[in-house]
Structures are given as structure tokens and as C-alpha cells.
Amino acid sequence: MAAIGIIGSGSWGVALAALLHKNGHQVTIWSAFEREIESLKTTRKLKTLPELVLPEEMTFTADLAEAMRDKELLVTAVPSIYVRQTAKKMRPYCIAGQIVVNVAKGIEEHTLMTLSDILEEELPMANVAVLSGPSHAEEVSRGLPTTCVVGAKDKATAEQIQNLFMSPVFRVYVSPDILGIEVGGALKNVIALAAGIADGLGCGDNTKAALITRGIYEIARLGIAMGGKFETFSGLSGIGDLIVTCASVHSRNRRAGILIGQGCTMQEAMDQVQMVVEGVYSAKAGLELSQKYQIPMPIITEVNQVLFDGKPASEALQDLMLRDKTSESSALLWEKD
């Protein structure tokens, strides 16, 4: 049995807390908001996961030192925009070699740092890893079969995390490609916004398949230019996570996109979803990265224009369809020119 601290009391953190408890571990959930902690203590439920009842043995606290003290593993499960400020708060209590596995997905705007980069900068004493893949909290909390991948700098750390999370309904693979895992996890949210916008415009399955296929092509080209590996983008944290986020009823990014396609502004859509829409925060970073590495990313470019420049969604879709003619893959050679 391991002592584990969950840093964040949102749907994903709570779903993983329940999984880890069922695996036999001692779990403590932390939130910065005393009101949330009191609600969890009293009701043992989270309104976004209505079927899940949290066990009496689980501990809840608003004291970060208590959540981190003597923990074999810390799971950072706060929204990506709060990772840096949360890590700053964690620093006084983090000990040398303590494993911190990040489960949020995003890239910091302006610095263009991945979330593991941020954690390593703010917690230089920690052993930072990531866990990602096609894994909606709603389904994990119900015990539906799910697969994810753990990325770490050394195999022993990855396998230690794998052993803690692995269960009959939660299969975990290991990978050394932390960068590729994070790029795929962050930018798939932007493509999911595009998929939702297409749904909101009344497009069909053909459009969705095109966005998923061309979306992973954009993400992979950028990720490989940044140093990620092709195999990662064809795996769980790449095409796997992209498929589920573009197609699922649980996807907040797709839901926000649908509202935008139906005529809502970005802010109106976020207000209706009532949860953090990570793709909105990753979109600008994705565009900046495409410019930095000189990788054309037409879908992500159009999403940015719809979100931040007021471009009508129908016009963005038409511009994607009417771009200059090109080959599907520049790497393939013709037998005859």
C-alpha cells in the first residue's frame, strides 16, 4: 500500500483518487477551496461524477503540507492554467526525489512550456512524470475499461507509477517520450474544439473523420519537430486521446465547440460548459509553436481566428476546404512525376 496525495479536487483528480483507493492505496485529496473539501467530507460525492461515492477511508484536506507529507506519489490534477501557481505553493513541502505525476493537459501561453517543464522549474527537487491517454473521468469513475500511458525520464519511475495505477479496468503502458505525450495531450483539445464547431455547424461523420486525421497530422509534425517521437502520436496519448476527445459526449472541448458552431462566442460557450475548456488556453500556444517551428497548422490557425478574432465558424470551415491543393503526405514519392 502506498500513501498518495491528489493535488486537485476536480473530476479527473477525484476519479483517479477512487481508482487508487480501490487499488489498495491510502489516498488524500487536496483542494485550495475549503468549501469544496467540506462538501467532499460531508457528502462523499462530486456533482460532476454523480455515480461515484467516495469511501470513508479517504482523507480530504485544504492543508497542502498535510496532502504532501510522507507521500510516495503526488498527482497534480489541477487545470493547466493553475499548474504553475499550485507548484509554487507545493515547493516548501516537496522533498528530494518525491514523484510528482502530472495528469493535466496543456501548454503554457507565452512561455510555451509543457506542464512537466513548469513542474521541473518550480519543483527542481521532484521526480516529474506524466500520465495521459483517452480517459474521461466519468468513465474511469464508473470502472469502465481504460488505457493510459505514463511518461518518465527513467524506466524505474515509469514502472513504479504503472504498478500503482494498474488495475483490471485501468491498463497502463510506459514510455520515455514525456514531450510527445504532453504535446499530443495539449493540442488534441484544440482539434476537439474544431470537431465540436463542425458538429455545431451541422457537419457529419465525414467532416469529423477529416478533422481527426488531419489534426493528428498537424500535431505529429509539430511534436516531432519539437523532439517528440512518431510512435507516441500514433499511440494512446496521440491519436487515441484525439479520437475520444473529438467524439465523446463527455468532452468539454467538443461541447464548447458545438456551442461556438451554433453561434456562441468563446466566452458564452465557456460559461455554458461551466468547466475549464483547456483547448481555449492551448490554442494560442499551439499557434505560437507552429510559427516558432515553422510547421503549418491550418486547423489550429482557423480555431484561433474563430476564438480570438471573431471569424465566423462557417467561414473558417470554408477556408480550410478551399486552401491550395496539395499532396496528403510530402514524404511519399511518385514513381513518375
Q: Which 3-state string (H, E, C) describes 4-16? A: EEEECCCHHHHHH
Task: Say how far apart CA 70 and CA 93 lie, in whole Å.
Answer: 10
Which of 71, 105, 188, 284 does the annotation list as catalytic?
188
- The grid coordinates of residue 289 equal 509553436
Task: Say how far apart CA 171 and CA 32 lie, in whole Å.
Answer: 30
Task: Say how far apart CA 143 and CA 54 lie, in whole Å.
Answer: 13
Is residue 325 part of the annotated active site? The answer reads no
Question: Where are any strands of DSSP class E within 98-244?
Answer: 99-102, 127-132, 146-151, 170-175
Q: What is the dihedral of CA 300, 102, 44, 69, to 10 degrees?
A: -160
- The grid coordinates of residue 286 equal 499551439
Task: Say how far apart CA 58 and CA 249 lie, in whole Å.
Answer: 29
User: What are the catalytic residues?
Assistant: 188
